[in-house]
A and B are shown apart, each in its own frame.
Chain A
Amino acid sequence: MTPELKKDRPLSAGHLLGLEGMPAEEITHILDTAEALKEILERPIKKVPTLRGITVVNLFFEASTRTRISFELAEKRLSADLINFTKVGSSVQKGETLLDTARNIEAMRVEVVVIRHQSPGAPVFLAQRLESVVINAGDGAHEHPTQGLLDLLTLREKFGQIQGLKVAIIGDIAHSRVAMSNIFGLKALRAEVMLCAPPTLIPRGVESLGVKVCHQVDDAIAWADALNVLRLQLERHQAAFLPSLREYYMTYGITLKRLEKAKRKPVILHPGPINRGVEIESAVADSGASVILDQVTNGVAVRMAVLVLLSAPEVMG
């Protein structure tokens, strides 16, 4: 049996392109749905027929392990038919444009497109041109809404509610879609958000989103209930943002020593993959305060929830 779902209340946008502008009730509805669906993941036979007959294509133009596997797992648990597309070995390497890729998908009558792309706005580009439901699995430095949602679910499980929670996002904010989706989601649910990074990694104008900005990691630790530690997006650094990883670890690395000095035990989140010894010490990542593996489990549940709410046959009519 599928848990009781309110499938008659699909998401108003019809796509999941980002968390910016999503009403708090819709975010909460996704989290509630994900919570209900988590039960399936504990069963001996982890499969329900909810998306039978629905075809999902996972378009991954950019390297991804956990997000892609998490989506695949969510689709399989819901009995969707799925097609995987990765850039390597595809016609994109032969010069096919996103527009033509999109038109080909359209011609194949696919109901749902999950897209990971290096260009900010690529999911919007597809949504403007396709009849299919589009789910953003990460677009450049823009948004990664399912990551934002799974972080919210993890925090809600840990703290009971999001409202009033103090969350510090630490690290490479300027190149992070995870930071953006977290900011929009947390602000919608009325948490307090602090961004902590060297000035070179704080994007321009971010204060206008209603967040605090600080540059001293000890201040962030002293303030926060939870730390969301971001990976340094080393592959995106075209110019010199940091003198060295060594100095970054010295000034921003989340270490046991720092946490002990602050006499606080904030909950530690990390979207992965972890660069141990760069932004976080192994002893912290593997400690009892870390909910990093809960995030992974919740990732599957959140993606199932989004797929159901956007594309279950009842929803799609």
Chain B
Amino acid sequence: MEPIKLPKKLCLKNARLLDPALGLDVKGELAIENGLIVAVKPGSGSSAGWDLQGAIVCPGFFDLHVHLREPGDEDAETIRSGQEAAAAGGFTAVAAMPNTNPPLDHAGIVRWVIERAAGFPVAVYPIAAITRERKGEELTEMVELREAGAIAFSDDGAFVPSAGIMRRALEYSQLTGAPIISHAEDPSLSLGGAMHEGEVSTRLGLPGIPRISEDVATVRDLMLAEYTGGRLHLAHVSTAASLSALAAARSRGVQATGEATPHHLILTDAAVIGYDTATKMKPPLREESDRLSLWEGLKNGIITAIATDHAPHPFEDKEVPYDEAAFGAIGLETAVALIWDRGVQKSLISPADMVRLFCHGPRSIVGLPIPSIAEGSPAELTLFHPDESWEVDAAKFFSKSVNSPFRGWKLVGRPWGIIRGSRWVGRVKPAF
């Protein structure tokens, strides 16, 4: 996938312009000149330009939770292949988790990732580790990491087992203004587990990961955030109880936020029947009551971001019996379509909610500037067509991996690509 330079002046016509921050949702046109939005107007007037045939144009989406695997696991994904997958999925920016090999625990590696990502229109914002080598023992040099470009700190993939270290992380990180992202999982309760513990795990004979492994860890970290005044973000909230704990903490004024993934919003542990290893991830797919509570969380503003937890794994790590398979599912290329089809189309959330959850919410959590489609703003746009029908086909992924639990799903609504500055990059060949 190669970026394409926009003409000096380009009019996107026959578009649906959607920006909830501007209260805007109209059919109209948007003109870009030298990478800046120069005109936004309803209706159709221009003759020249790219006819979008009703595609939605909105401020660029940002995925707060992505594993790019480079350095170290380039057979699963590279920074470039992850950027391409992001562009194909409608994301103008992603945050890269630090569980690479070596991990992002030194400023040099953080700078290396940023340099490696430069040149392609999808921005990559590194998240640095909370502790050195992600061992949960000593804090990383957070101030220097922040100056190097880290937007948050997380040992994602692993819980910080020591409450004492987590306390210090939530205190010290206040020097940086960046949040601590918690992977809430008490390993003494989840050890050896392969899927959500419940009726389905019992029927399938698979060792369980109980809800309480997440809930006790969530509650611990919320209490530490409350005590320290630190900023806590909960990655991939998957249970109703963790969500309630987050809601209660927020109502007490704790600086805590949360994200939900498309797979936890759409699938339950019933998807594991048949032992498709693409359904194996942490936290595991939960039950219907948990799934429904997550949609409630989106609607009532407890959860302010949808993030994919895009976790690529090579074929050989997934083409094995379920209990031996790696944890994780890819999500960049299906997230927007899934939320449109299963959320907006089913009236669980509005189109404006969806834009907020993919654009404004995740950026607010890490304090990034929020793109806008107002005149005068730099062009940072997501384009997706709300009526395009398609089938999720692993062979067509731009990601190097295929571990999606949604393979074969038929969806309505599909991202076309993105504009960032004066370049287009996406799945669709532009007509200008």
Contact of B205 with A by CB under 8 A: yes
Contact of A117 with B by CB under 8 A: yes
Contacts of B322 in A (CB 8 A): 119-121, 125
A208 and B203 CA atoms in complex are apart in Å by 10
Contact with B along A30-43 (1 / 0, CB 8 A): 00000000000000
Contacts of B323 in A (CB 8 A): 119-121, 140
A139 and B316 CA atoms in complex are apart in Å by 21
Interface residue tally of chain A, by bracket?
Answer: 20 to 34
Q: Can you name 20 A-B pairs with beta carbons within 8 Å?
A: A98-B320, A119-B322, A119-B324, A120-B275, A120-B321, A120-B322, A121-B206, A121-B321, A122-B321, A124-B274, A125-B321, A140-B205, A140-B323, A142-B205, A143-B205, A180-B202, A204-B202, A205-B197, A205-B200, A239-B192
Closest to B207 in A: A141
Contacts of B324 in A (CB 8 A): 119
Question: Are B199 and A205 in contact (CB-based, < 8 A)?
Answer: yes
Contact of B428 with A by CB under 8 A: no
Question: Are B203 and A121 in contact (CB-based, < 8 A)?
Answer: no
Contacts of A204 in B (CB 8 A): 197-199, 201-202, 208, 210
Contact with A along B323-336 (1 / 0, CB 8 A): 11000000000000
Contact with B along A18-56 (1 / 0, CB 8 A): 001000000000000000000000000000000000000
Known contacts A125-B275, A239-B191; A206 and B202 CB within 8 A of each other: yes
Question: Are A142 and B204 in contact (CB-based, < 8 A)?
Answer: yes
A97, A125, A205, A239: the one within 8 Å of B202 (CB): A205
Chain B residues within CB distance 8 Å of chain A? 191-192, 197-208, 210, 274-275, 316, 319-324
A125 and B325 CA atoms in complex are apart in Å by 12
B206, B210, B319: the one within 8 Å of A120 (CB): B206
Closest to B202 in A: A203
Tell me how far the C-beta of A289 lies from the nearest C-beta in chain B, rounded to whole angstroms.
Answer: 30
A20, A99, A119, A140: the one within 8 Å of B203 (CB): A20
Q: Supply 16 further A-B pairs (C-beta < 8 A) apart from A120-B322, A121-B323, A205-B201.
A: A117-B321, A119-B324, A120-B321, A121-B206, A140-B323, A141-B206, A180-B202, A180-B203, A180-B205, A203-B201, A203-B208, A204-B201, A205-B197, A208-B199, A209-B202, A239-B192
Tell me how far the C-beta of A261 lies from the nearest C-beta in chain B, rounded to whole angstroms.
Answer: 32
Contact with B along A155-170 (1 / 0, CB 8 A): 0000000000000000
Contact with B along A89-124 (1 / 0, CB 8 A): 000000001110000000000000000010111101
* Beta-carbon contacts under 8 Å, A52-111 to B: 97-99
Contacts of B203 in A (CB 8 A): 20, 180, 209
Chain A residues within CB distance 8 Å of chain B? 20, 97-99, 117, 119-122, 124-125, 139-143, 177, 180, 203-206, 208-209, 238-239
A204 and B322 CA atoms in complex are apart in Å by 19
Closest to A143 in B: B205
A122 and B208 CA atoms in complex are apart in Å by 17
Question: Are A120 and B205 in contact (CB-based, < 8 A)?
Answer: yes
Contacts of B202 in A (CB 8 A): 180, 203-206, 209
Contacts of B200 in A (CB 8 A): 205
A83 and B202 CA atoms in complex are apart in Å by 33
Tell me how far the C-beta of B267 lies from the nearest C-beta in chain A, rounded to whole angstroms.
Answer: 18
Closest to A61 in B: B321
Closest to A20 in B: B203
A97 and B197 CA atoms in complex are apart in Å by 27
Tell me how far the C-beta of A77 lies from the nearest C-beta in chain B, rounded to whole angstroms.
Answer: 30
Question: Are A139 and B192 in contact (CB-based, < 8 A)?
Answer: no
Tell me how far the C-beta of A19 lies from the nearest C-beta in chain B, rounded to whole angstroms.
Answer: 11
Contacts of A97 in B (CB 8 A): 316, 319-320
Closest to B272 in A: A121
Scoring B203, B316, B320 by chain A CB atoms within 10 A of each residue's CB, the highest score goes to: B203
Contacts of A20 in B (CB 8 A): 203
A61 and B274 CA atoms in complex are apart in Å by 21
The 6 A-B residue pairs whose C-beta atoms are closest, nearest first, are A142-B205, A205-B199, A119-B321, A120-B205, A121-B275, A141-B205
Closest to B201 in A: A204
A141 and B192 CA atoms in complex are apart in Å by 13
Known contacts A204-B197, A238-B192; A121 and B319 CB within 8 A of each other: no
Contacts of A98 in B (CB 8 A): 320-321
B205, B208, B319: the one within 8 Å of A177 (CB): B205
A203 and B197 CA atoms in complex are apart in Å by 9
Tell me how far the C-beta of B90 lies from the nearest C-beta in chain A, rounded to whole angstroms.
Answer: 33
Contacts of B210 in A (CB 8 A): 204
Contacts of B275 in A (CB 8 A): 120-121, 124-125
A140 and B191 CA atoms in complex are apart in Å by 17
Tell me how far the C-beta of B28 lies from the nearest C-beta in chain A, rounded to whole angstroms.
Answer: 50
A206 and B200 CA atoms in complex are apart in Å by 9
Contacts of B192 in A (CB 8 A): 238-239
Tell me how far the C-beta of A96 lies from the nearest C-beta in chain B, rounded to whole angstroms.
Answer: 12
Known contacts A125-B275, A204-B198, A238-B191; A120 and B320 CB within 8 A of each other: no
A99 and B319 CA atoms in complex are apart in Å by 7
Question: Are B204 and A205 in contact (CB-based, < 8 A)?
Answer: no
A206 and B271 CA atoms in complex are apart in Å by 19
